Amino acid sequence: MKLNALSAVVAGAVLASQAHAQVIYQDEQNSLELGGVLVLDAHNQFYHDDTQLSLNRSILNLAAHRQMGDNWVLSGKFEWDQFSNSPNSSSSNFRNRLAFVEASHEELGRLSFGKQWSAYHDVARYMDNMILIDPDATPIYSEGADGAFAATGRGDNLMAYRMSVADFNIAAHYGFAADGYTGDISRKNNYGASLSYDSQFGLSLGVAFVENKVRVSGSDNQGLIDGDKQRALTFAGEYQLAGLRVAGAYTMGDKIHQADLYNFGHGEWADADAWDIWVEYNMSNGLRPFFYYSSIDFDDTRVNAHGNRDIVAGGLSYAIANGLIASIELNRYNLNDLGAGKREESGGGINLIYAF
């Protein structure tokens, strides 16, 4: 694989949890794959009082497949990561990223159960590109974790169905009850769906919807009340031509964005309309410059959230060798109103990825 293509694949792989995999066993019916990623980040993030952070992260995944009769395939995938000096915690922590089983058929589609990528993410993934920060306007990881609770990213306790017909892809999921990110918030149920079209000339278009019904049992509710429905309706697209890739999304959200300086698990959930764009160019020498812009317009009377949060980010990745990528990313946040007047903050850092 050429280094310029590898740069895009590996960087996207780490962020979208599709790390490289090596076949460690295979026969006529069965296969077993092992893969992973090692990540080293050096941050200077403003939401931690400009403290210099070092984040060491490792990801390991294991996948098994068994060929059944009548063109059925039974699969299972498990993925974990380990943080040292995590921004979410003062200590090291271990996290389960994926754990699902799937039955698939070439003509009938795929049915899966467990912790997995949601149907919403099948379209929202167009914006899942950043190296250090997460997409803001497209609320994939809006609760400051992996999107498990609202099932915008790797959703907990999901049953999902996917099928592709010609150039069209359909997906739907149902989320069973699950714990929330605080003890006073939990999920009653969740459902989502998406439809996308992949053309033969590099254009992909899609629409996705997710609704998360919550239970609230205490005061640590971040602006939610019992029975609230967190919703996101996203229209997105991407276009690829040679080394150029451009992506954009527009989201109409109900209680799915958090109205603070940075949506890192703080602030109150609020209604908002949001959009973001992504541009990257993969050069033949392994360099990949990228640019990101997002804008969220909050308008929620109940939690008194009115104003805008804008982000400008950009950087450069370089494919040093097969599976080894180095990146630098800078970002600037602009806050207008939202109870804090006008405020600007900057951050950024460097990143080293090795995928195996």
Query: Do 317 and 287 touch, CB atoms closer than 8 A?
Result: yes
Give the Å distances, CA to CA, from 293 to 15, 56, 151, 277, 279.
Answer: 18, 27, 24, 5, 9
The C-alpha atoms of residue 256 and residue 260 are separated, in whole angstroms, by 13
The C-alpha atoms of residue 202 and residue 239 are separated, in whole angstroms, by 5
**What per-residue confidence (pLDDT) applies to 340?**
63
Confidence label for 90 from pLDDT (cuts 50, 70 and 90):
very low
Instruction: Check residue 272 and give left, alpha or beta (phi > 0: left; psi -120 to 50: alpha).
Output: beta
pLDDT tens per residue, range 62-76 = 999 999 988 999 999
**What per-residue confidence (pLDDT) applies to 221?**
84
Give the Å distances, CA to CA, from 38 to 82, 88, 141, 162.
Answer: 10, 19, 21, 30
Look-up of token digits 């149907």: 119
Confidence label for 261 from pLDDT (cuts 50, 70 and 90):
low
pLDDT tens per residue, range 283-303 = 999 999 999 999 999 999 888
Give the Å distances, CA to CA, from 147 to 140, 153, 178, 279, 332.
Answer: 6, 4, 12, 23, 23
Q: Which helix H or strand E contains 38, and what residues bound it?
A: strand 30-44
Q: Which helix H or strand E contains 7, and what residues bound it?
A: helix 3-15
Question: Please, which residues bridge with residue 52 across strands?
Answer: 44
Q: Where is pLDDT greater, at 3 or 286?
A: 286
Average pLDDT, the chain: 87
Q: Which of 341, 189, 178, 333 is nearest to 262 (CA)?
A: 333
| Tokens matching residue 88 | 């979410």
pLDDT tens per residue, range 101-149 = 999 999 999 999 999 999 999 999 999 999 888 899 999 997 777 899 9
Q: Is the pLDDT of residue 16 over 80?
A: no
Q: Is the pLDDT of residue 5 over 80?
A: no
**What per-residue confidence (pLDDT) applies to 267?**
76
Q: Which helix H or strand E contains 252, and what residues bound it?
A: strand 244-258
Q: What value does the mean pLDDT take over residues 156-176? A: 97
**What per-residue confidence (pLDDT) applies to 53?**
55
| Tokens matching residue 322 | 């097969």
The C-alpha atoms of residue 302 and residue 228 are separated, in whole angstroms, by 12
Q: Where is pLDDT greater, at 262 or 38?
A: 38
pLDDT tens per residue, range 207-243 = 999 999 999 988 878 889 999 999 999 999 999 999 9
Q: Which of 230, 234, 136 is nearest to 187 (CA)?
A: 230
**What per-residue confidence (pLDDT) applies to 260?**
75
What's the CATH number for 3-355? 2.40.160.10
Q: Is the pTM of this model over 0.95?
A: no
Q: What value does the mean pLDDT take over residues 242-261? A: 93
Q: Which helix H or strand E contains 343, and what residues bound it?
A: strand 342-355
Angle at 303 between CA 298 and CA 309, to 5 degrees: 25
* 310 backbone dihedrals φ, ψ, rounded to 5°: -120, 145
